[in-house]
Structure 1
Amino acid sequence: MVDTPILPSKFLHLKCLTIDHTIISSSPAYNYLYLVYFLDACPSLETFLLGISQNHMEHDSIIGDSSHMRQMPGHRHDNLRSVEITGFYSAKSLIELTCYILDNTVALKYLTLDTTRGFFSCSTGEHDRCFPMDKIMITEAKRAVLAIQTYIERKVPSTVKLNVVKPCSRCHAVESYL
Structure 2
Amino acid sequence: MYSDFAIKCDKKETFYGDDCISRLPDDLLITILSRLTLKEAAVASFLSRRWRYLWTNVASLDFDADDKLDSIAADHELRTKYIGWVNHVLRQHRGPTLDLVRICFDLDNRSSEAIDNWVEFATAKRVQRLELDLLGSEETRRWPTNNYTFPCKPGMSTGLKRLKALSLRGVNVSEEALDCFLLMCPELQKLSLCSVEGLKKVKVVGFKRPLKCLEIDKCLGIDTIEISNSSIVSFSYEGPVIDLMISNAPVLGDVSIGEGHSALQADVFGQLSCCLYQLESLRLNIYYTKESTEIFSFPVLPNLRQLILVVGAWDDDSLLEFAYFVNACPNLNRFALKLIWMSIVSPPNIRRETRRAPKCAHEHLKLVEIGGYYGRTSDAEIAIYFIENAVALQKIVIDPRNQVLNRSPLGVAQIERQESARRHAREHLGSKIPPQLKLVIL
Tell whether the structures are fold-level matches, with TM greater than 0.5: yes
- Give CA-to-partner distance per residue, 1:33-82, whole Å, 9 cap, x none: 22111111111111011112336414855xx4454311111211111001
SS at match of 2:335: strand
User: What's the counterpart of residue 435 of structure 2?
Assistant: 158
CA distance in 2, matches of 1:43, 1:60: 34
Residues 109 and 131 (structure 1 numbering): CA distance in 2 closer, same or farther, change over 3 Å? farther
Paired letter, 1:98: A
Are 2:316 and 2:377, in contact at CA under 8 Å, matched by a contact in 1? no
Secondary structure in structure 1 of the residue aligned to 2:307: strand
Q: Aligned equivalents of 2:437 and 2:293: distance in 1?
A: 29
**1:31 corresponds to which residue?**
318
1:82 aligns with 2:82: no
In structure 1, C-alpha distance between the alignment counterparts of 2:437 and 2:337, rounded to whole Å = 18
CA distance in 2, matches of 1:140, 1:99: 21
Over aligned residue pairs, what C-alpha RMSD do you find?
Answer: 2.7
Indicate conservation of the 8 Å contact 1:7/1:41, yes or no. no
> How far apart, in 1, do the equivalents of 2:300 and 2:397 lie?
26
- The residue aligned with 1:11 is 301
> Residues of 2 paired with 1:152 and 1:65: CA distance?
19
Structure-1 separation of matches of 2:315 and 2:353: 21
Q: CA deviation at 1:106?
A: 1.0
Query: Which structure has the highest strand share of the two?
Result: 2
Q: Residues 42, 58 of structure 1: CA spacing in aligned structure 2 closer, same or farther, 3 A cutoff?
A: farther
| Cα contact 1:49–1:85 (8 A) shared by 2 | yes
Alignment of 1:83-122 (within 5 A): 83-117=368-402
Deviation at 1:8, TM superposition (A): 4.6
Shift of 1:28: 5.1
Matches within 5 A, 1:163-178: 163-165=440-442
Is the alpha carbon distance of 1:47 and 1:86 closer, same or farther for their aligned partners in structure 2, counting shifts above 3 Å? same
Q: Could you list the runs of 5+ residues in structure 2 that have no partner in the other structure?
A: 1-262, 265-291
Question: Residue in 2 aligned with 1:168?
Answer: none
Deviation track 1:96-152 (CA, whole Å, cap 9, x = no partner) reads 00000101011111111011236899xxxxxxxx96222332232122112212211
In structure 2, C-alpha distance between the alignment counterparts of 1:131 and 1:158, rounded to whole Å: 37
CA distance in 1, matches of 2:389, 2:305: 17
Cα 1:44–1:73 change in 2 (3 A) is same
- Structure 1 stretches lacking a partner, 5+ long: 122-129, 166-178
Q: Is the 8 A contact 1:115 1:144 kept in 2?
A: yes
Aligned residues: 152
Match of 2:328 in 1: 41
Partner of 1:140: 417
CA distance in 2, matches of 1:12, 1:134: 44
Q: Do 1:18 and 1:49's aligned partners in 2 also have CA atoms closer than 8 Å?
A: yes
Query: Which structure has the greater CA radius of gyration?
Result: 2
TM-score (norm 1): 0.73
Change (3 A) 1:56 1:120: closer
Contact 1:109–1:159, Cα closer than 8 Å, also in 2: yes
Q: Is contact 2:332–2:365 with CA below 8 Å preserved after alignment?
A: yes
Give secondary structure in 1 for the equivalent of 2:359.
coil
% same residue: 24
Gap change, CA 1:71 and 1:55, over 3 Å in 2:
closer
1:35 and 1:43 map into 2 onto residues whose CA distance is: 14
Point out the structure with the larger helix share: 2
TM-score under structure 2 length normalisation: 0.31
Structure 1 8/86 Cα, relative in aligned 2: closer, same or farther at 3 Å? Answer: closer
Of 331, 335, 338 in structure 2, the residue corresponding to residue 51 of structure 1 is 338
The question of whether the paired residues in 2 share the 8 Å contact of 1:30 and 1:59 is answered with: no
Shift in CA distance, 28/150, structure 1 to aligned 2, threshold 3 Å: closer
